Structures are given as C-alpha cells and as structure tokens.
Structure 1
Amino acid sequence: MARTIMLQGTGSDVGKTVLVAGLCRLAANAGLTVRPFKPQNMSNNAAVADDGGEIGRAQWLQSMAARTPSSVHMNPVLLKPQSENGSQIIVQGRVFGQAKGRDYQRLKPQLLGAVLESFENVCAGADLVVVEGAGSPAEINLRTGDIANMGFATKAGVPVVLVGDINRGGVIASLVGTQAILDEGDRAMIAGYLINKFRGDVSLFDDGIRAIEGFTGWPCFGVVPWLRAATRLPAEDSVVLERLARSGTGALKIAVPMLPRIANFDDLDPLRAEADVELVFVRGGERLPADASLVILPGSKSTISDLADLRVQGWDRDLAAHVRRGGRVIGICGGYQMLGRTVRDPLGIEGGRIEAAGLALLDVETEMAPEKTVRNSQARSSEYDVSLAGYQIHLGVTRGPDCVRPSAIIDGAPDGALSADGRIMGTYLHGLFGSDAYRARLLQSFGLSGERRNYRDSVEQALDEIAGELERHLDPHWLAGLLG
C-alpha cells in the first residue's frame, strides 16, 4: 500500500504546487515510485496527459518531477473558468459539462466517486503519493461536499501537512486560525505544518514555531527558504503573471496582452527564460508597447469574450499600428482564431455571444464545434523546417485562403496559417517555443544569435535544485518516515 501525504495551504498561492513537485523529485531521486495527485484543480493552464485527456499543467509538471508518465487520474477534476462565475468541468480527462459556481457546489458530491477511483488508480503500484489540496481548508463555507481538501482527506484517510506562506505576513495567525475553525474530525487529519518562502535567518522564527506549537500542538516539519529555482518552472496560474509582468531587459521586446481568460500561457516560459528577450505581459489599461518587435496572442478559454475585451482595451488599434510599422504577430490557439476575419459559435459552446468579427490579420474564419481536439503532437515548422513537439487542446475548425500556407505540419496534417508576407502566423500547437531549434530560429530571425539552452534540461535542473533545498531544510525524521 502506498504511503500518502497531502499538502494543504492556509490560503491560495502559498507554494503547494512547487513543494509537491519538489517532494516528488526528492522521492524519485531516492529510487521510489512516486506519483502526484490533485483531486480538484481550477486552471486554464491544461496539459494533455500521456494516457490522453486534460489535466492541470501543474500535475503534468509534478509527474515530470516524479519521473513517471502523466495520467488523467492525477487530476480527476479540472475546472476551466470561461466566465466570471462559470467553468467547464473536466472529469478524468474528458469534458463533463459546464456549471456556475453555486450549481457546481451541488454537483461536487457526485464527483467524489470519480476522485476516489482515480486516487486508487494512482496509488496502485506506488511507494508514495503526494497529494495537493486546493485553496484552503479554512474555507469552511465550502466544506459541505468538499472534494478538494478535508472532504477528500477524511474519505481517503490521507494525513495532511498544512503549508503557511510567511512571505505574505500573518503566518502564525493563518495557521492558528485554521486550527481554531476546523471541526474536530478535520483537525485530527493534520499531522503538522510547514513554513514556506522564508527569507533570511531561519533561527529568527524559532519563537514563532514555539508559539504555533503552543496554540495548536502541531509539530513543525520544516522552514523552507525562498526557492529561487521555482522561477524557472512553468507558471501555473495568472497570479504568477501579475508578478512577472515584465521579465528580462534583452534586445528583443515581445508583448503579450493579458486577456481575462488567458490559457496555457506557460507556452511563453521558454521565451521568458531567454536572457536577450524582454517579455512584457500587458495589463488592462496599458497600451501595447510601440517598440515591441513581436506581439503574441496567447490561448484563450473563451475566444469571443476575450476578443471583445481586447477591443475594449484598444489593443486592436495598437495591434494594427504594430503591423503597419512592420511588426510581427503570432497567435496560438484562441489567439490564432482572433487573427482571422470571423469567429462563430453557433451552438453557444463558449456560453456567450455566437459571432464576432476578428482582427482580419489573417484571411481565415473559425467555427466552434462540439468535438474537442485533445492530443500530444509531433510537428514540423513550415517556416524554419525544424521539428516541433507540443500539444493541442482546442474547440473549433479554422479555414480560409491563408491556410494554403500552413505554419506547421502536425501529425502529418497541415495546421495554422501564414500571411502572404510571412509576418502574421497562427497555429493550434501549444508548446512550440519549448522546441529549442524552433525558438533558436525564431530569435535568429530578429537578429539574435548565440547558443540557446535546452529548455527541458533547465526545468529538470530547477526541480533537482528544489529537491535539494527541501532535503536540507525539512525535518530529517519526518522526511525519513515519508520516504520509508
């Protein structure tokens, strides 16, 4: 029977995802068969699992950390927000339906069976399973029917380690307050806690540890420092983008409008990691920088809604001026659809308007269709004649005269479109910038030379560095018990 542990947070964005990835890599380096699991995730950053179907990008990264194939069972419930109060629901990798927040609360008990089935699947043959919660167990208004935190932990019998983020302040109150409001059964599931994102001399927090133990009786399993290597990992959610609005000071400036339902924006991480690239995420209320050489329209969970917001921000005018100046544009997935003349959604699949005029930078049209394309893909760039590896997650079929110049050949079939002058490109292939040869040729086309590091290797190295930091700073007795 696999050993199990669940990391829950005193709030969102306390670093659970990175800690789970680090523990998975630490266990894998020790020779264990380890697997990640997250009962419920909410993110528009999705990946295609090795066994087919969608999972959260974070669980894909954690499976990479664990050196094990990814599976839809590692994230059995994925919520993909597509409006202010509604989400598409993915269950065990497949579209289950759509629901608004209140309706989903009533639906959760029906999904518990799938969650427990997937957990049993992940545990089979594993030495260790590291589970990540969502949000916080202190959200007791959501406790009824919960499948993400204590509702799962109590049903599956998984001990919990609570994670507090000292960087945001109030960590003692967060931990003690969580203990105070949990009911007795939930409180009994907590084995101890971790302090995360500590800067400076750890001994300065000794009195804090004694205070927390005095209030709660919980042992501290370690004080984890600020993990600088975590910045080299793929971004999980848009909270990170707010902190990374501008990265690098390189010779090439690339602008990316931050659309409200931006999806799969970790496509851009390999560019962000390049020293000679300045990647600017443009927030609402800001203009697209006039000195940008390239504008990238990223994926979107709701193309028509984001297209409308793009116009509200005036980015359509900025983009038109950028093209008149000779600038280049790349659209990925939903961004590709926006570049065409029209986007139609006659069945209301996205849940909003059924038709919108596109930006007319490519002579193509898109119509949404019920069947969703979800697959990992091998491809070849038509522009640079280099191999590509990535994945596709999209609704809709795009056709038009510019498709006679495909941007790539994916799995033997033409994909995307190029404008006649080659300055506007659209594709359905996510992950293309992670292909080192393509990224090198793209940057060379802007006059940048020099060696391009292997992006995958840089992520692997970051995971090993994080594992090493955890090994140094976590309680050795607790860690020995966890690793067996």
Structure 2
Amino acid sequence: MTKAIMIQGAGSNVGKSMLVAGICRALVKRGYSVAPFKPQNMSNNAAVTVDGGEIGRSQALQAMACKRPAIVDMNPVLLKPETDIGAQVIVQGHRMATVKAREYSKLKPQLMPKVLASFHRLAKTVDYVIIEGAGSPAEINLRSGDIANMGFAEAANVPVVLIGDIDRGGVIAQMVGTYVVLPPEDRDRITGFAINKFRGDVSLFDDGMITIAHETSWRNLGVLPWFADAWKLPAEDVMDIATRPGGEIKIAVPRLGRIANFDDLDPLVAEPNVTVEIIEQGQTLPGDAAMVILPGSKSTISDLENFRANGWDIDLQAHHRRGGKIIGVCGGYQMLGRKIHDPEGIEGAACSVEGLGYLDIETTMTPKKNLSLIKAHTVANQTPVHGYEIHLGKTTGPDCYTPWLQLTDRPEGAMSSDQSVRGCYLHGLFASDSFRAEILAEIGTRSQLTSYDTTVHETLDQLASFIEQHMDVEGLISLAGKVAP
C-alpha cells in the first residue's frame, strides 16, 4: 500500500522544496517508486507537463528527482501573482480565474476535492508520495479552508514532519512556537522535525535539538548543514535568484518586478566562463555586459513601465550602441517590440503601450494561454533547441518573417536585421547544450558544460547522499502513513 508523509516548514523558504527533492531521490536510490506532491503552490516560475498543463517549477524538479515525467496532479493548485493583491489561479494545470486574496479565501473550499482527487490518483502509481507544504502551519489565521498545510494533512490523513531554518536565527522559537499556537489536533499530526541550513559544527546545536524534542515530543530526525551545491538546482523562489560570481564574460539580467520562469538562466549560471549578473531595482545595467537578457514576466506591461522607471531603457540603448547582444524571452520578447496591446484588460486596465522598439513586432494580449513542450532548431545553423511555451498573447510583425527558431509546424520568434536583437516565447532554451554553446560563442567564450541535465541529476544524487548522511531517513520512512484507497 502506498505511504505518504508531508514536509511542512516553520516559515517560508526554509528549504522544503530542495529537501523534498533530495528525499525523493534518496528513496528512488533505495529502490522505491516515488512521486512528489504539493497541494497548493505560489510561484511565477512554472513548468509545462507532459499532460499539457502547468505546475510549479519545484514540483518539476522533484519529478526529475523521482525520475518520473512531471504531470499536473503533482501540483493541482498553482497561484501566479499578477499584482500585490491578486493572482492567477491554475487548477489541475489550467487557468481557472484571476482573483484577489480575499476572493481566493472563499474559493479554497471548492478546490479541496480537486486537490484530493489529484493526490489519490498520484498515490495509486507509487510506493511513496512525498508532500510539500506551503508557507507555515503556524499561520493559524489561514487555517480555515486551508488546502496547503494542515487542512490538506487532515483531509488526506497524512502525518507531518516540520522543518526549521536555523540560518535566519530563532529556530527554537520557530519550532516550539509553532507547537504552542497550533490547535491540539494539528499539533498531534506532527510526528517529527528536522533543522535545515546549519553552518559549522552541527554538534553545537545538540542541546537545541534536545530542547525542541522535550518541548514538543516530536521525533528528532536530524540537523542538515548548508548544502553548498544548492545553487546548481533550479530555484523556484524569486528571492533565491542572485548574482553568482563566475567567469569574465558578463550577462546582465534586470530583476523585473514580476519576473517569471527565471530558471531559464540556470544553465548560463552553471557555465564556469560566465557571470550572470542580476541587476536589482535602482541599479544600472553594466557597461561591460556582453549580453542583456530580458526575462519572462507575469505582468509584461507593468514590468515594462518598471523597466523604464529604473532607467534601464536608456542603459539598454547604450548597450545596443556598443554592439552588445540582446535576447528577450517571452515577456521580455514582447517588451522588445514596438507596441503591446491589451484590449481586454487581461493585465489590468485595457490599454496599448509603446514597447522598447528593438524588434519590428507588436503583441496583442489574448485570454487563451499557450502551453506546450517544444522541439525546434535555429534557422541560421539548424542547431537543435528544446523547451516549453507558456504565455498569453500573439506576436506579429515584419521581423517575425526573419524568425530565430523553426518549430516542427511553424517559425518562432524574431530577429533584427543585424541579428544583434532576438526574441522568442521558448522557455528553457539555454538548457539545450549545443544551443547554449552557440550563444556563448557569439559573445566570445566557450561552453564548459557538456550536459546541463546531467549536472542537475548528479547534484540530485549528491543531495540524496547528503540527506542520508545528516538526516534519519529510515526514521522518516517509518513515520509515513498509509494512504487510504
């Protein structure tokens, strides 16, 4: 019979996603069939699944850790923030609505049956389901109608392991405080705990672990040190993207306010000869960048306004005059055109705005979302490239007649006449090794990464071994509960 256990955090960004990926790979290496599950995720970093929907990027990585294709049942509810108070609601892979936070609270009870249906379908296919919570169960103001943490754990009758983050300090208060504020029925559902991101000699926290165990009666599953190679795995939280020093060739990426699918950058970050510099709000685009990449955006028009407000449009002009390369991906591609039209007010008030004007194209926002896995090749050199499409809007114009890529059934993207500016809707393109090597050669360096996917799998193996070394995995398995048919 299938067993399941839920990993929840004493706060946000405690490392749940990476831990679940590592636990999944550890169980796979033990010979079990495993699947990840996250009832509700909030992220603008999404992945397209083999069954034609979208889920959070962390569940796609976890599926990779399980050596299984990603499917929509692994993340039945995905919230994609569009404004500070509203988000697009994706249910079982497809857009259901765009709602404000207060409206979503009323919607949640309708979503629980779909969440449970996805969970039980998934559970029928594997030995173990490793479930990831969202945020923290200590947010008891959100307990009513909850589908992300204890509400789901109760409905599915699965035990919980709580993870604390010692790197941000106050971890004893995090753990014991969670125990104190939870109602007894939720408190009793937590059967074990572990501490993550310890720097230094873990034995220095032995007394801390004893204190937490004494105050809560939860089983001590161990202290995990900081995993130094975590940066090699795709990050889902926008707060995790940052400049990582690399080689002399610099690629600049402005951090858009609603940046989306930023894991497009990970293969470039992994290249030893390259430094991918994330340009924060208020900073200037560096004059020594060989390339500027305009990344995806969940709110293209709003981010274009933000781009100009930071003066990045002026910096980009200077970069272009110096002969620098420019690539736009998805929302960034739309920004590079002459105009963006939103006649139905999909991103806000109905409007048309001037684009940056580097490509002779125009985009019209449409309500239908394009979702597909893509295989293509470059028009110029027939270099193979693969990725996925996940966007709203239709782009047309003269530069589309000089496409950058050729799909099986149609051309894709656009190029300026001198090919210094290019754009397309294809996410994940830099993970294609020969394509990435071609792009890097254009800016004067050689790719040193033979296979990006192999690097990710090797890092997942290392993470699994790391978790086996520092965490009581056997104890974790013993705490898993049977999934009712």
Shift in alpha-carbon separation, 1:367–1:480, aligned structure 2, 3 A:
closer
Structure 1 contact 40–148 (Cα < 8 Å) conserved: yes
Structure 1 contact 194–224 (Cα < 8 Å) conserved: yes
Shift in alpha-carbon separation, 1:36–1:477, aligned structure 2, 3 A:
closer
Hey, what does 2:346 align to over in structure 1? 349
1:94-243 matched pairs, under 5 angstroms:
94-241=94-241
Residue range with higher mean Cα deviation, 224-233 or 2-11: 224-233
Q: Give the aligned residue type for 1:161.
A: V
Structure 2 contact 159–479 (Cα < 8 Å) conserved: no
Bigger relative contact order, structure 1 or 2 (CA pairs below 8 A, ≥6 apart)? 2
Q: Give the aligned residue type for 2:306.
A: D
1:293-372 matched pairs, under 5 angstroms:
293-372=290-369
1:433-448 matched pairs, under 5 angstroms:
433-448=430-445
**1:289-333 CA distance string (max 9 Å, x none):** 111110000000011111011111111111111111111100000
SS in 1 for 2:194: strand
Aligned pair count reads 481
Shift in alpha-carbon separation, 1:352–1:240, aligned structure 2, 3 A:
farther
Structure 2 contact 271–448 (Cα < 8 Å) conserved: no
Distance in 2 between residues matched to 1:481 and 1:185, nearest whole Å: 21
Distance in 1 between residues matched to 2:426 and 2:82, nearest whole Å: 21
1:425-464 matched pairs, under 5 angstroms:
425-449=422-446, 451-464=448-461
SS in 2 for 1:102: helix
Q: Give the aligned residue type for 1:153.
A: A
**2:267 pairs with 1:276:** no
Hey, what does 1:51 align to over in structure 2? 51
SS in 1 for 2:283: coil
Deviation at 1:351, TM superposition (A): 2.3
Structure 1 contact 304–353 (Cα < 8 Å) conserved: no
Shift in alpha-carbon separation, 1:476–1:64, aligned structure 2, 3 A:
closer
Distance in 2 between residues matched to 1:260 and 1:168, nearest whole Å: 24
Structure 2 contact 295–331 (Cα < 8 Å) conserved: yes
Deviation at 1:479, TM superposition (A): 4.1
Distance in 1 between residues matched to 2:218 and 2:335, nearest whole Å: 52
Cα root mean square deviation, aligned: 1.3
Distance in 1 between residues matched to 2:141 and 2:225, nearest whole Å: 32
SS in 2 for 1:78: strand
Distance in 2 between residues matched to 1:62 and 1:82, nearest whole Å: 25
| Residue 398 of structure 2, aligned match among 377, 385, 401 | 401
Distance in 2 between residues matched to 1:466 and 1:477, nearest whole Å: 16
Q: Give the aligned residue type for 1:184.
A: P
Deviation at 1:373, TM superposition (A): 0.4
Shift in alpha-carbon separation, 1:12–1:394, aligned structure 2, 3 A:
same
Distance in 1 between residues matched to 2:206 and 2:244, nearest whole Å: 35
**2:376 pairs with 1:379:** yes
**2:40 pairs with 1:40:** yes
SS in 2 for 1:47: strand
SS in 1 for 2:52: coil
SS in 2 for 1:18: helix
Shift in alpha-carbon separation, 1:261–1:450, aligned structure 2, 3 A:
closer
**1:69-124 CA distance string (max 9 Å, x none):** 21101000000001111000000001000101111111111111111111111101
SS in 2 for 1:374: strand
| Residue 291 of structure 1, aligned match among 281, 288, 291 | 288
Distance in 2 between residues matched to 1:312 and 1:383, nearest whole Å: 36
Distance in 2 between residues matched to 1:451 and 1:163, nearest whole Å: 36
Q: Which runs of 5+ in 1 are unaligned?
A: none
Structure 1 contact 305–352 (Cα < 8 Å) conserved: no
Structure 1 contact 263–300 (Cα < 8 Å) conserved: yes
Structure 1 contact 27–483 (Cα < 8 Å) conserved: no
Q: Give the aligned residue type for 1:438.
A: F
**1:226-252 CA distance string (max 9 Å, x none):** 1112110011121102xx2x2224121
SS in 2 for 1:378: strand
Hey, what does 1:257 align to over in structure 2? 254
Distance in 2 between residues matched to 1:150 and 1:329, nearest whole Å: 46
| Residue 416 of structure 2, aligned match among 414, 419, 422 | 419
Hey, what does 1:8 align to over in structure 2? 8
Deviation at 1:151, TM superposition (A): 0.4
Distance in 1 between residues matched to 2:327 and 2:408, nearest whole Å: 21
TM-score (norm 1): 0.97
Deviation at 1:352, TM superposition (A): 3.8
Distance in 2 between residues matched to 1:7 and 1:80, nearest whole Å: 22
Deviation at 1:477, TM superposition (A): 4.1
Shift in alpha-carbon separation, 1:472–1:310, aligned structure 2, 3 A:
same
Structure 2 contact 191–479 (Cα < 8 Å) conserved: no
SS in 2 for 1:108: helix
Hey, what does 1:26 align to over in structure 2? 26
| Residue 472 of structure 2, aligned match among 454, 472, 475 | 475
SS in 2 for 1:388: strand
Distance in 2 between residues matched to 1:313 and 1:303, nearest whole Å: 15
Structure 2 contact 46–57 (Cα < 8 Å) conserved: yes
Structure 1 contact 368–396 (Cα < 8 Å) conserved: yes
Distance in 2 between residues matched to 1:131 and 1:261, nearest whole Å: 27
SS in 2 for 1:144: coil
Q: Give the aligned residue type for 1:322.
A: H
Shift in alpha-carbon separation, 1:452–1:213, aligned structure 2, 3 A:
closer
